[in-house]
Structure 1
Amino acid sequence: MSHASEIAPVCGMTWGWVGVPGTWATPEGEASITLMSEHEVNWTALAYTGIQDTAFSTRVRYGAPTGVGEGEITWAIRKAHELGMKVCLKPVVNVADGTWRAHIGFFDWDVPGEPSWTDWFDSYSDFILDAARIAEQESCEMLCVGCEMVRSDGQEQHWRRLIARVRQVYSGLITYNCDKYQEDRVSWWDAVDLISSSGYYPLNAWERELDRIEEVVRASGKPFFFMEAGCPSRVGSPDLPNDWSLVGGPSGQAQLEYYQEMFRACRSRDWVGGLMLWDWPARLYDADEASTNDDYCPYGKPAGAFMAAQYAEWKSVTSP
């Protein structure tokens, strides 16, 4: 197993979300992931979804036709490795009715006849253990066992049991992607190899939030990186970078200004191991459409060139 200290810097990008069947192992998908790798990206999170019907459902469905199947996942891992990138496999649960996964939740204790955390973790564990098996089989460098599961974060014993089971299957690095503002609320960071979080902090809040996160990282003794971070290329998004539905016109300049502050703040802290930016789709828009695209992907936008330059410099100054 690689040592956690060897991951830095994570000059990363999430690819392929949400894992629509038939979109990964295609010529279009290959062109997309290749273009991403050409932006100095040395890590990618291959993110795909399992689905549960409501926030109170206890069954998580995964694989085709719900999401990409093992064949496409394996294809993407091998393609990323072929292109020189390290891989974090990132299975993520979504809710079919549109409820954000952070709201998935049950009574704090099991009650007969009611949906419970025990029932949910039984099903969710199948989803994660399937990913762990693939990650081990394909020599993925990292596995993310959960993403932004805020209401579940307090279920410490369930998470510890799941992580112990994952370690029986998977020998690589394990992380959990907590949500923004939750870094100091997870009590079981000692169970994983790296701390990671979603860094969707407003433009003017980076220094304050990094001060807060630093206390957690120093106390834990664990490496840290942002498993998600970024900003849509949209007017107003730098103040609400996690709001993908914010109404505003396309603005590559707004995204660039956010990237400039995010990279400046993060690179000034020696304990920040890098960024896994959000996100690069498998079905990529044409370069000549970049100025009218208002989503997170920086391809063809001012932020894309800036990111590549920052990543190249970050890698050069941290090389042995």
Structure 2
Amino acid sequence: MTWGWTGVRGTWSTDAADRSMREMADHGVTWTALSYAALQATAFATDIPFDAEPTVTDEEIVGAIRRAHGLGMQVCLKPVVNVADGTWRAHIGFFDWDVPGEPSWTAWFASYTRFIVHAARIAEAEGCAMLSIGCEMVRADGQEQHWRRLVQAVRAEYSGLITYNCDKYQEDRITWWDAVDVISSSGYYPIDEWETQLDRIAPVVEAAGKPFLFLEAGCPSRTGSPQRPNDWSLPGEPDGQEQLRYYRAMFDAISRREWVSGVVLWDWPAHLYDASEARTNDDYCPYGKPAGDYLRETYRALQRKDPA
């Protein structure tokens, strides 16, 4: 389960955050992606001030890692870059070649590398099992040599597993899967497309010879969302049964694919709503909803089957 998004400064080191993570662990969660965002000003900016507000501080990140470890969870540290003006990070992009006087991939990757390497040092010091070096960077995906150099820089600081979280439908478009240890993607596929999309992804995983997991997947508890699970702003009424229907279909589909090593669900906030508000909450978090009960039963059954 992803925890703490978007990592707003001051929200990870509170009593509410402690309660939230404990409730998440109580649902049988064994791995958590601690995900936080640094903000660049626009999609064409080349500076990523990851040590500035509103991004969580290093102390908050370390505290969350230690709290998760104390609850028996493995941690994937997941630093992400967002755009302050609301543009989706997938649209961050520049000319394919550097042009004097224009913002460039070279300048952006220099700043981005500092951000990710800083996270790698924290992940190494705190014993994180995995580090995600990027999330849904669709326009940046084609910058193969920049990504390979970034992985080299990360490996100089971090000895754990390295993954890259590509966006939905992009699994077969990445040309540098050999550089990472684990292939991962955002599996926000319509409820009736799971088999088709898994059929498409399977040859990619086989060719790469790497483990695979969905580093993001989930569905809002809202009418219409099972067909558009990636659309967090889709109009609809709160409906926990719709979320449950999606969870059942997703878990059923991936359970038949031995090459899917896991799924990290989206998502669990640092400040959790009260259980009495679950019926009217239409977001991704399954806490207090039918999908939450199903999740607890499913995860605990898996642990009884395979305690490792």
Q: TM-score range by the shorter chain?
A: over 0.9
Residue 128 (str. 1) matches residue 116 (str. 2): yes
Residue 193 (str. 1) matches residue 211 (str. 2): no
Gaps of at least 5 residues in structure 1 are: 1-12
How far has the Cα of 1:311 moved from its partner? 1.3
Gaps of at least 5 residues in structure 2 are: none
* Mapped partners of 1:293, 1:180: distance in 2: 25
2:225 is aligned to 237
1:256 is aligned to 244
Q: TM-score, normalised by structure 2?
A: 0.99
2:149 is aligned to 161
Over the aligned positions, Cα root-mean-square deviation in angstroms equals 0.8
Residue 311 (str. 1) matches residue 296 (str. 2): no
3-state SS in 1 of match to 2:151: helix
Aligned length: 308
How is 1:1-320 mapped onto 2 (pairs within 5 angstroms)?
13-319=1-307
* Mapped partners of 2:81, 2:74: distance in 1: 23
* Mapped partners of 1:63, 1:287: distance in 2: 34
* Mapped partners of 1:36, 1:318: distance in 2: 20
* Mapped partners of 2:173, 2:49: distance in 1: 28
Q: Is the CA contact 1:21–1:64 (under 8 Å) kept in the aligned structure 2? A: no
Q: Give the counterpart letter for 1:252 in structure 2.
A: G
3-state SS in 2 of match to 1:314: helix
Q: TM-score, normalised by structure 1?
A: 0.95
How far has the Cα of 1:63 moved from its partner? 2.6
Q: Is the CA contact 1:224–1:273 (under 8 Å) kept in the aligned structure 2? A: yes
Check 1:226–1:163 CA distance in 2 against 1; reply closer, same or farther (3 A cut).
same
* Mapped partners of 1:266, 1:311: distance in 2: 14
Q: Deviations over 1:89-108 (max 9, x none)?
A: 00000000100000000011
Q: Deviations over 1:168-197 (max 9, x none)?
A: 000100000000000000000000000000
Q: Deviations over 1:69-117 (max 9, x none)?
A: 0000000000000000000000000000100000000011111111100
Q: Is the CA contact 1:230–1:259 (under 8 Å) kept in the aligned structure 2? A: yes
The more displaced of 28-37 and 308-317 is 308-317
* Mapped partners of 2:303, 2:226: distance in 1: 26
* Mapped partners of 2:302, 2:59: distance in 1: 34
Q: Give the counterpart letter for 1:280 in structure 2.
A: W
How far has the Cα of 1:319 moved from its partner? 4.2
Identical pairs, percent = 66
Q: Deviations over 1:216-262 (max 9, x none)?
A: 00111100000000000000000000000000000000000000000
Q: Give the counterpart letter for 1:309 in structure 2.
A: E
Q: Give the counterpart letter for 2:11 in structure 1.
A: T
Q: Is the CA contact 1:50–1:93 (under 8 Å) kept in the aligned structure 2? A: yes
3-state SS in 1 of match to 2:193: helix
3-state SS in 1 of match to 2:286: coil
